[in-house]
């Protein structure tokens, strides 16, 4: 079974997310919106299919990373999230919540041995592409 297939997103805490997004837009050319920015790419094994990686500065006081106290969280793209979660549970990995489904994919959070919260995402890339096209209009 394939596990991680790529990076789905980078999320990090900062004092002023809007100012941070503006700086990255001005100095590095990121096309930012209220969420940060989304990088679009083509999947290696299916070049006709798009894939996405999210970059999001978040408020320094966000609770989204809890129980981790770290300043960042990485989102990994995975396949077959349900089977992966079963395997992780059998290995004793800390599962923070239940699988949640949205129109653009399924998510769950786990903890690594050093207290880093990790977000696992089984994306529905075609649906995410539709959402992005609405967000950028």
What's 125's DSSP letter?
H
- CA 121, CA 75: separation in Å to the nearest integer? 7
Locate tokens 């990255």: which residue?
A: 24
DSSP alpha helices (H): ranges in 55-124? Answer: 81-90
Give the model's pLDDT for residue 47.
84
Walk me through the domains of the chain, giving residue ranges and CATH numbers: 4-135 (3.10.180.10)
CB 76 within 8 A of CB 7: yes
pTM score of the predicted model:
0.88
Give the model's pLDDT for residue 134.
67
- CA 90, CA 61: separation in Å to the nearest integer? 33
Q: Is 132 left (phi over 0), alpha (psi -120 to 50) or beta?
A: alpha
Q: Can you give the pLDDT of all 137 residues of the chain as single tens digits? A: 678 999 999 999 999 999 999 999 999 999 999 999 999 999 888 888 888 999 999 999 999 999 999 999 999 999 999 999 999 999 999 999 999 999 999 999 999 999 999 999 999 878 777 777 766 55
């Amino acid at each position: 079974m394939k596990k991680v297939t790529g990076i789905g997103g980078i999320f990090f805490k900062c004092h002023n997310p809007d100012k941070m997004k503006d700086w990255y837009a001005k100095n590095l050319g990121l096309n930012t919106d209220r969420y940060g920015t989304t990088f679009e790419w083509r999947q290696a094994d299916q070049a006709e299919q798009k894939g996405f990686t999210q970059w999001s500065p978040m408020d320094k006081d966000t609770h989204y990373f809890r129980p981790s106290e770290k300043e960042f969280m990485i989102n990994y793209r995975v396949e077959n999230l349900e089977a992966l979660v079963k395997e992780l549970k059998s290995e004793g990995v800390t599962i923070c919540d239940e699988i949640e489904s949205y129109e653009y994919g399924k998510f769950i959070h786990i903890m690594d041995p050093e207290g880093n919260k990790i977000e696992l995402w089984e994306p529905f890339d075609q649906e995410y592409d539709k959402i992005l096209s609405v967000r950028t209009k």
